[in-house]
Amino acid sequence: MVKTDFGPPKYLDMMSDLCKRNYGKWKYHEVLDTGTLVHVAESGEKLYTVRAATPRLMHVDTLRAFCDLADKYCGGFFRFTSRHSIEFLVEDEANIEPLKAELHAMGYTPGGVGNTISNMLHTQGWIHCHTPAIDASGIVKSVMDEVFEYYKEAKLPARLRLALACCLNMCGAVHCSDVAIVGVHRVPPKVDDEKISKMCEIPNVVAACPTRAIRPEPAKKSVVVNEERCMYCGNCYTMCPAMPIFDPKNDGAAIFVGGKVSDARHPAMFSKLAVPYIPNEPPRWPTLVKTVRLLIDVYAKDAKEGERYGEWINRIGWEKFFKVTGLPFTDKHIDDYIFSVPTFRSTATFKW
């Protein structure tokens, strides 16, 4: 019997002597370029970080190639960020450029440090999930290809966090990102009475609906959906596989903007709806990519230095946001869910 419940490898076993020597005794850091940081310790020792975005989904051979680079240039040590980027922890400054050159040759461009788009946080999509309304990796690839200049060069007023969730479950901090793509459904689930009677716990399915759109149908040992009340969250499908909510003709993506998690300057903010729906257009989702590009370009041009996306919108106002982006404002943008009323404007002070 092999042991259980012993926990993860100890982090100190994964850390270089330099990191251990200066643990908790870092003094300051500087951004050297969009792919490189230096952290200086109280002791005067320096640690250089070379960051590069990965596609998150990686074959073991790619990770082995990263290991080879770390063995060659970093004494065998690297780390990952919370946004799927790899960080090589370099002690000898002379190793930075050769490491970057080899990373580049592998197809990994260093970037994402400072006022850039860092890597795009995302979920599984059609590769490995049973509830997505959109793919994840394909959209991330298409968007990042389009906005790559903002990843490589520090051309933005502040950092910009992109994220994607392939359904409303929103794995990842999509709801607090500067620009977020979310997979949405637009039609109610299809009820398979026969399967429901065999596979699902009716009370749990009924209780799963946040708008009370589902009621039991005892005669059929099934349920009925009041389609007028359904807002397609898919929570019933999570509880009951016999209520699929997919519809290739209607599933697609929404875009939310202006969220952040840091409390710097302005407290953390939720992302808010900018675009209610863009259809799925694999393999490169041109409309969605074009819209994200527009949202970033307008911000890059209009915001003041140091302003995150949401801070920029707070300054200019949402009415002006829709004007400068040219995006239509619709009834979908006005909240009609649980906490809607405080989002209505109770003042006559606004911009034309």
Partner 1 sequence: MPELRKTPMLDQLLDGPFPSFVKEIKKGAEKNDACNDLLGQLELSYEEKITHWKHGGIVGVTGYGGGVIGRYSDVPDKFPGLTEFHTMRINQPAGWFYKTDRLRKLLDIWEKRGSGLTNFHGATGDIILLGTHTDQLQAVTDDLAREGWDLGGSGSDLRTPSACVGPGRCEWACIDTLDIVDTLTRRYQNELHRPMWPYKFKIKIAGCANDGVASKARADFSIIGTWKDNIQINRTEVVNYVNAGFDIIGQVVDKCPTKCISYNPVTKSLSIDNSNCVRCHNCINKMPKALRQGKITGATILIGGHAPILQSAFMSWVIVPFMEMKPPYDEVSELLEKIWEWWDENGKMRERVGELIYRLGMRSFLQATGLPAVPQMVLHPRTNPFYFWSKEEVNQ
- The footprint of partner 1 on residues 193-252 (CB under 8 A) is 204, 207-208, 210, 233, 235, 237, 239, 241, 246, 248, 251
Under 8 Å between Cβ of 170 and 259? no
Q: Does the protein bind partner 1 through residue 306 (CB under 8 A)?
A: yes
User: Does residue 345 belong to the site contacting partner 1 (CB under 8 A)?
Assistant: no
**φ, ψ at 90 (rounded to 5°):** -100, 130
Residue 46 found at the interface with partner 1 (CB under 8 A): no
Kindly state the smallest distance separating residue 98's Cβ from partner 1, in Å.
17
Closer Cβ to partner 1, 64 or 332, answer by number: 64
Stretch that binds partner 1, among 220-228, 289-297, 321-329, 333-341 (CB under 8 A): 333-341
277 makes contact with partner 1 (CB under 8 A): no
Site for partner 1 contains 316 (CB under 8 A): no
The strand pairing partners of 184, in sequence order, are 252
Answer yes or no whether residue 59 interacts with partner 1 by CB under 8 A: yes
Of 141-149, 213-221, 222-230, 320-328, which segment contacts partner 1 by CB under 8 A? 141-149
314 is an interface residue for partner 1 by CB under 8 A: no
Binding of partner 1 by 273 (CB under 8 A): no
Exposed e or buried b for every residue in 137-160, given b needs 16+ CB within 10 A? bbbbbbbbebbeebbbeeebbbbb
Q: To the nearest whole angstrom, how small is the minimum distance from the Cβ of residue 318 to partner 1? A: 18
Among 155, 186, 221, 284, binds partner 1 (CB under 8 A): 284
Q: Which amino acid is at 154?
A: A
Find all residues with CB under 8 Å of 177, minimum gap 6, and list them: 121, 161, 162, 163, 256, 259, 260, 271
Among 19, 160, 214, 255, binds partner 1 (CB under 8 A): 19
Give the SS3 label for residue 294: helix
First to last CA, the chain: 72
262 is a site residue for partner 1 (CB under 8 A) = yes
Least distance to partner 1, CB of residue 154, Å: 15
Q: Is there binding between residue 264 and partner 1 (CB under 8 A)?
A: yes
Cβ closest to partner 1, residue 151 vs residue 299 = 151
CB of residue 321 to partner 1, shortest distance in Å: 20
Are the C-beta atoms of 294 and 144 separated by less than 8 Å? no
Q: Residues 53, 55, 57, 61: what is their CA dihedral angle, to the nearest 10 degrees?
A: -70
Among residues 176, 178, 103, 175, the alpha carbon closest in space to that of 143 is found at 178
Is the torsion defined by CA of 268, 253, 124, 103 positive or negative?
A: negative
Q: How far is the CB of 176 from partner 1 (least distance, A)?
A: 4
Any idea which residue has 């637009």 for tokens? Answer: 186
Is residue 10 involved in binding partner 1 (CB under 8 A)?
A: yes
Contact partners, residue 63, CB within 8 Å, separation at least 6: none
Q: Which is nearer to partner 1, 152 or 222 (CB)?
A: 152
For 125-137, give the DSSP string.
GGGT-SS-SS-SH
* Site string (146-185) toward partner 1, x via CB under 8 A: --x--xx------------x--xxxxxxxxx---------
Under rule CB under 8 A, which residues in 71-130 are in contact with partner 1?
Answer: 71, 76-82, 84, 86, 89, 107-109, 121, 123-130
Q: Residue 172: enclosing H or E segment and its boundaries?
A: none
